[in-house]
Amino acid sequence: MHRGTNIPRSERKWARRAGISLIEVLVSIFILAVGLLSIAALLPVGQSEVGKAEIDERKAIVAQNAYRSFRTRGMANPANWFHVNFKSNPQDIPFNQPLFLDPTWYSENPINNTRVPQGGGGLPFLRLTLKGQPIGNTPQYALTPAAAEAIFASRDEILFDPSTEIDDPPLLRNDQDTTPGGNPLRRQFAGNYSWMAMLQPLPGQQQLLPSPSMLNNNPTPLAVGKMYPQMPVQLSIIVFYRRPINPTSTGQLQDELTTIPREREVAIRFTGGTNTEATISNSIKNALLLQPGEWGFVYAKVGNQTLGHWVKILTADQIDTSGSPKRNITIAAPDAISFSEGKLILFDGAVHVHTKTIHLEGPSLW
């Protein structure tokens, strides 16, 4: 009798199947590899989302701290402003259109630093700084780069050095005294976040302000700093993440090495009957470079008023170079935009705008 006949029927299939075949092993490895690769592909996405969440959290905190600094340091008082063309009396600075208070850029770029965008545009706006503290009997008309950084750069991102002992916490990174055995002077910070301010007359009040031609003819008696010391204005705090201070940058655009202005002005036309879809254009295609999530200032001259709004870039199509360079974008604006065509000033690194209505301060708070 054959030996196989003595094996019970319920056990015969296991006797015939002694192990796993090579094909099954390969299929299992393939499925495992696909799963591991999928998980690995999610890691950069997760890190990117964590980075965006950190920026979203910090930019709002920086804006609130900047607003408090603006008020407590007297930046709402025109007497504390400085512009090279109004060195003797800053209260003569005309205020019939937006003013940019930007000491960081002003101090770091001595050439063409008095206009926004840099070098001027269709309707260039004044860029101001703050008065510096005198050194002895020598007046400091404008803030130094170090003073501007101390005020307009966020110091919340403290830097740490790893401890030499495994169980010890990380150590604060401090500037050191150069003398032998010097003591720590101050803590170091990353400086990724900075800010500037923009002051803009309210639309209804621009009609009360002098026109540029009137100011050129007789600036002193018509200066807003003297005529309306308590006038309400719109204050916008613009927060930057890793703002590039150098005026231009070399970047890559469609396999072509280009020079990109850090501040640039493009034409904008709203399409589709809404203020969320628009087309921007410029004769130079690299001027249309932008990043979704950044903010820009859109404005137009309507009658004798300059109407302006800060807008957030949501999406951007590819640059169309079939004719004059143009690009379709979608934006979000906190306020309704009342014009269909205008100009858009783009600022590299602008990630948040915080707007409030305040009153200008006079020479004294009492």
How many C-beta neighbours within 10 Å does residue 215 have?
A: 19
Per-residue pLDDT of the chain (366 residues; tens, 9 = 90+): 455 556 566 555 555 555 678 888 889 999 999 988 888 888 777 777 777 777 888 899 999 999 999 999 989 888 888 888 877 666 677 777 889 999 999 888 877 788 898 756 556 788 999 988 766 665 667 888 888 988 999 887 777 777 777 777 777 777 765 566 555 567 777 789 999 999 988 876 654 444 444 334 443 333 555 555 567 889 999 999 988 887 665 444 444 445 677 888 999 999 866 678 999 999 888 889 888 999 999 999 887 778 899 999 999 999 998 889 999 999 998 777 888 899 999 999 999 999 999 988 875 544
Angstrom distance (rounded) from CA 20 to CA 29: 13
Token code pair at residue 249: 């940058």
pTM of the prediction?
0.78
Distances in Å between the Cα of 174 and the Cα atoms of 150, 190, 233 are 15, 12, 40
| Structural domain spans, the chain | 66-157+185-243+352-366, 246-348
Q: What's the CATH number of domain 246-348, 1.10.20, 2.60.40, 2.40.30, 2.40.360?
A: 2.40.30
Angstrom distance (rounded) from CA 238 to CA 352: 6
Element (H, E) at 82: strand 81-82
Q: Which residues pair with 327 in a beta bridge?
A: 280
Those residues whose C-beta lies under 8 Å from the C-beta of residue 312, and which sit 6 or more positions away, are 293, 294, 295, 331, 332, 333, 353
Those residues whose C-beta lies under 8 Å from the C-beta of residue 136, and which sit 6 or more positions away, are none
Which single residue is written with the structure tokens 């309210």?
202
Angstrom distance (rounded) from CA 198 to CA 264: 17
Q: Which residues pair with 259 in a beta bridge?
A: 250
Of the candidates 353, 351, 350, 355, the residue with the CA atom closest to the CA atom of residue 55: 351
Phi, psi of 335 (to 5 degrees): -115, 155
Angstrom distance (rounded) from CA 307 to CA 342: 10
Identify the pLDDT of residue 255.
Answer: 40
**Any alpha helices (H) in the chain, and if so which ranges?**
9-16, 22-72, 103-108, 145-152, 203-206, 212-217, 219-222, 224-227
The CA-based diameter of the chain, rounded to the nearest angstrom, is 126
C-alpha neighbours within 13 Å on the C-beta side of residue 65? 15
Q: Estimate to the nearest angstrom the gap between the alpha carbon of 170 and the chain centroid.
A: 30
3-state secondary structure 288-307: HCCCCCCEEEEEEEECCEEE
Contact 191, 240 (CB under 8 A): no
Residue 244: is it exposed, middle or buried by C-beta count within 10 angstroms (0-12/13-18/19+)?
middle
